[in-house]
């Protein structure tokens, strides 16, 4: 039991310690908002897509594609969307709060926090499998995010489907996954110099992204957080992992694959939810607080969940 606990702590905590480092750096004014903006853009546009591409381009897609896992990802996202939508309607949330609450409850930060912990816990093969799952998760996040933020304002007629599809396909993560597929299928090798350079860029992506997350957190704002700001993280950090575990049991998914899916769905709310809310009439303060509380809370919920799964030899 103690060995299992220390294993999980040694796996999860280094990832979240980088988030804490970011909080401290911002608190000491070593970094500022401009640093967060620039590094976040670099990670989103360059380093993380390079990492995803390099982990996918030379893998055997037949061993990477798992229909059951894809089913769980798609099903889990839709179920969490439905649950959060039901709660939002049940409590008759204001339009500016409804979409933010819903999005904060189902949109996972699996591209940064999720991948970092999967890499730490299961290694590069698992990272490749998790990266491929993003091909199915990212479009759903974006599509359901747009729906969540527009329908409460009765702007559904103004949803530009063509624009939404273009934005989904233009996502750097999506581009890197799509580009990697022909390399994998036709076994195209990168020149050693290019691959080495790419690896240098990829190696800084997760540490820089995690520090950036920490630097963007404003601890003081938690004091003014509303009940909604705590409700969404409860759904995101506790209900979401329970839903995905149930789906895995139903589809007879255990071991490393269950662990990958658990980490994806127990990852905190994605910062992208705040960015989208800012451009679509959402409550920015609520969106920011959900990200903060979910991120800090996931340190404990993810650690506890992984410990239980490992202790009972489910993963």
Phi-psi region of 98 (alpha: psi -120 to 50; beta: other; left: phi over 0): alpha
The two tokens of residue 88 are 């939002």
**What is the model's pLDDT at position 306?**
97
* Distance in angstroms (rounded) separating the CA atoms of residues 89 and 243: 20
Q: How far is CA 213 from CA 78, 85, 90, 102, 153, in A?
A: 26, 27, 32, 21, 29
Domain that holds residue 227: 2-311
How many separate domains does the chain show? 1
Q: In angstroms, how far is the first alpha carbon of the chain from the final one? A: 14
pLDDT at 290: 94
H or E element, residue 158? none
Specify the pTM. 0.92
The pLDDT value given to residue 154: 63
What's the confidence (pLDDT) of residue 299? 94
67-90 and 255-266 are packed helices; what angle lies between their axes, rounded to 10 degrees? 30
Q: At what angle do helices 2-27 and 284-311 cross, to 10 degrees?
A: 160
pLDDT of residue 158: 59
pLDDT at 150: 83
CATH number for the domain spanning 287: value is 1.20.1530.20
pLDDT score for 88: 95
pLDDT-flagged residues of the chain (< 70)? 154-161, 225
Helix or strand (DSSP H, E) at 314: none
Q: Is 108 helix (H, G, I), strand (E, B) or coil?
A: strand
Three-state helix/strand/coil letters over 56-74: HCCCCHHHHCCHHHHHHHH
CB count within 10 Å of CB 7 equals 14
Q: Quick one: pLDDT at residue 130?
A: 95
């Amino acid at each position: 039991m103690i060995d299992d606990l220390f294993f999980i702590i040694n796996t999860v905590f280094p990832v979240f310690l980088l988030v804490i480092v970011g909080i401290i750096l911002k608190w000491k004014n070593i970094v500022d908002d401009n640093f967060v903006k620039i590094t976040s853009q670099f990670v989103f546009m360059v380093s993380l897509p390079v990492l995803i591409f390099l982990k996918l381009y030379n893998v055997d897609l037949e061993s990477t594609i798992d229909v059951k896992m894809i089913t769980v990802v798609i099903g889990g996202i839709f179920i969490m969307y439905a649950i959060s939508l039901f709660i939002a309607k049940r409590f008759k949330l204001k339009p500016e709060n409804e979409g933010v609450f819903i999005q904060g409850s189902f949109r996972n930060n699996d591209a940064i926090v999720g991948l970092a912990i999967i890499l730490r816990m299961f290694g590069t093969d698992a990272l490749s499998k998790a990266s491929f799952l993003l091909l199915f998760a990212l479009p759903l996040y974006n599509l359901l995010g747009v729906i969540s933020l527009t329908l409460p304002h009765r702007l559904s007629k103004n949803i530009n489907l063509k624009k939404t599809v273009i934005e989904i396909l233009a996502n750097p993560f999506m581009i890197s996954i799509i580009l990697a597929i022909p390399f994998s299928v036709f076994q195209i090798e990168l020149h050693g110099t290019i691959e080495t350079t790419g690896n240098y860029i990829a190696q800084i992506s997760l540490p820089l992204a995690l520090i950036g997350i920490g630097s963007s957190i404003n601890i003081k704002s938690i004091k003014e957080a509303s009940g909604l700001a705590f409700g969404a993280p409860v759904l995101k950090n506790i209900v979401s992992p329970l839903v995905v575990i149930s789906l895995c049991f139903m589809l007879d998914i255990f071991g490393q694959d269950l662990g990958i899916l658990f980490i994806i769905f127990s990852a905190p709310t994605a910062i992208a939810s705040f960015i989208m809310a800012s451009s679509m009439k959402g409550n920015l303060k609520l969106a920011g607080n959900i990200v903060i509380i979910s991120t800090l809370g996931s340190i404990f919920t993810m650690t506890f969940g992984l410990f239980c799964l490992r202790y009972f030899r489910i993963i």
